[in-house]
Amino acid sequence: MERADEALTGSAPGPFGPLVTADWLARQLAAPGLVVLDASVGVHRGAPRRIPGARPFDIDGALSDHSNPLPHAMPGADQFTDEMRSLGLDDDSTVIVYDTAGIYSSARAWWMLQAMGFDRVAVLDGGLPAWEAAGLPVESGRPAPAPHSGSFTARPRPGWIVGGDEVAAALIDPSSTVLDARSRDRFSGTASEPRPGLRGGHMPGAVNLPFGEVQREGLMRPTAELKGIFEGLVEDREKLTFSCGSGVTACVLALAARLAGYRELAVYDGSWSEWGIPSDRPVVTGR
């Protein structure tokens, strides 16, 4: 699996792959230029314990565009720049993102940073549970402010975050696959959507891959297993678009696909929160 441990050169952190282990992060925690961000959402947001020195990457708060009625909408470049600078990020920082659920919303932060042109970012495999299971220290109380205002500048990458029209085109493109990270019951329409007013079911032609299936015991599955999962679902198609409920766990699939070697990836920002609104967008039920 492509991890920081395998690509590390010298004593400075990075360059590295999409994942780092708890042991690696513990060794590098005091390295100059390293920034650790807690990207927890929902009930896990503002958890009482965190990795020492971690700063909040607040997807539920300032790192969503609240002028958009859809949940977790990607903020604009100026807003993103301002928030990253307030967290002390420089253009040459090395960033490790994690969440307290394991690997859930941290993948969204990883994808957002890359979509804004920043590559020196990786996800902590297993998140805070893996950190604590390794017996590593945590801290509590209010997080300390960033030591300085950063120099980060967002440089959005076209095609990394897409809308409904791009997804509709991908659904009929023979070189593309749209993968849905929701549960199988929600995908089939046999379970109600947690957000009121949405239709049940899925996009015609989409493939279901619940995000938990690319993990095992809280960690991302090994590369060979991920390759097998994707090859069984997408065959020889290389262009992959990911959807979920609100654009968060779609990024877990994007992380898995990157580990499996896929590079032409996109995340549907509105996901089912947009597509599932009653409209003329087609929806089907069943497997």
Q: Are residues 111 and 165 in the same domain?
A: no
Residue 191 pLDDT: 95
Q: What total of structural domains would you count in the chain?
A: 2
Q: Are residues 42 and 82 in the same domain?
A: yes
Residue 246 inside a domain? The answer is yes
Residue 286 pLDDT: 87
Residue 129 inside a domain? The answer is yes
Q: Are residues 188 and 246 in the same domain?
A: yes
- CATH number of the domain that residue 65 is part of: 3.40.250.10
205: left (phi over 0), alpha (psi -120 to 50) or beta: left
Q: Are residues 123 and 16 in the same domain?
A: yes
Q: Which residues are catalytic?
A: 244
Q: What angle do CA 47, 181, 45 make, to 5 degrees?
A: 10
Mean pLDDT, 10 residues at a time, the chain of 287 residues: 37 66 94 96 89 96 95 97 98 96 97 97 97 97 90 98 98 98 98 95 98 97 98 96 98 98 97 98 92
9's tokens: 């050169």
Residue 248 inside a domain? The answer is yes
Residue 83 pLDDT: 98
Q: Are residues 77 and 194 in the same domain?
A: no
- Residue 192 domain boundaries: 161-275
Q: Are residues 209 and 103 in the same domain?
A: no
Residue 51 inside a domain? The answer is yes
Q: Are residues 13 and 69 in the same domain?
A: yes
Q: Are residues 10 and 122 in the same domain?
A: yes
Residue 16 pLDDT: 66
